[in-house]
Chain A
Amino acid sequence: MTYNRNKWSWRAEALALAVGTLVLAMLPAVFGDTYTRHMLIIIFIYALAAASWDVSLGYAGIFNFGHMALFGIGLYGYAILTKQLDLNPWLAFVLAGGLSGLAAVLMSLPILRLKGIYIVLVTFGFSQLVMTLIVSQSDITGGTLGIVRIPTLPIAGHNLIRDGKIGHYYMALTLLVLGLVALRVFVRSKAGLSVVALRDNEEYATSRGISLARQRLLTLLVSSLVAGYAGAFYGAYLRTAATDVFGLSLTTLILSIVLLGGIGTIYGSVVAAALLVVASEMLANLGPWRPMLIAVLIVVVMLAYPGGLMGLLRAAMPTRRQPTAKSGRAASSEPVET
Chain B
Amino acid sequence: MGATGDIIFSGLFQGSLYAIMAVGLALIWTTIGVFNFAHGALMMIGAYATWSAVDYLGLPLPLGLFLGVAASGLIGWGLQVSLIRPFIGRDDIVLMVVIMTLSAASFFENGALELWGPRPKQLPPLVEGTVNLPGLIVSAHQLAIILISPFILAAIWYLLHKTRFGLQLRAVAQNEEASQLVGLNLKALYGIAFALSAGLAALAGIFLGGFKFMSPVMGSDPLLKAMVVVIFGGVATISGPILAAFIIGFIEAASSYYFGLYWTPAILFLVLITTLMIRPEGLLSTPTRRLS
Chain A interface residues (CB < 8 Å from chain B): 57, 63, 110, 113-118, 120-122, 124-126, 128-129, 132-133, 136, 202-203, 206, 212-213, 248-249, 252, 255-256, 259, 263, 287-292, 294-296, 298-299, 302-303, 306, 330-333
Contacts and interface: CB of A to CB of B under 8 A. Distances in A.
B273 A110 contact: yes
Contacts of B90: 306, 330
B143 interface: no
B38 to A, nearest CB: 11
Interface stretch (B53-61, B92-100, B187-195, B199-207): B92-100
Contacts, number: 125
Contact of B272 (A125, A132, A259): A125
Contact of A132 (B111, B114, B265): B265
Q: Could you tell me the dominant secondary structure of chain A's interface residues?
A: helix
A133 B262 CA distance: 10
Contacts of B165: none
Given A117-B94, A128-B265, A129-B266, A302 B99 contact: yes
A295 B104 contact: yes
B106 interface: yes
Q: Could you tell me the dominant secondary structure of chain B's interface residues?
A: helix
A292 B280 contact: no
Interface in B63-86: 83, 86
A292 B92 contact: no
Contacts of A292: 106-107, 110-111, 114
21 contacts: A110-B273, A113-B280, A118-B276, A121-B228, A125-B228, A129-B269, A132-B263, A249-B106, A252-B106, A256-B99, A256-B103, A289-B114, A292-B111, A296-B103, A298-B99, A299-B104, A303-B86, A306-B87, A306-B92, A330-B91, A330-B92
B270 interface: yes
B99 A114 contact: no
A295 B105 CA distance: 9
Contacts of B231: 117-118, 121
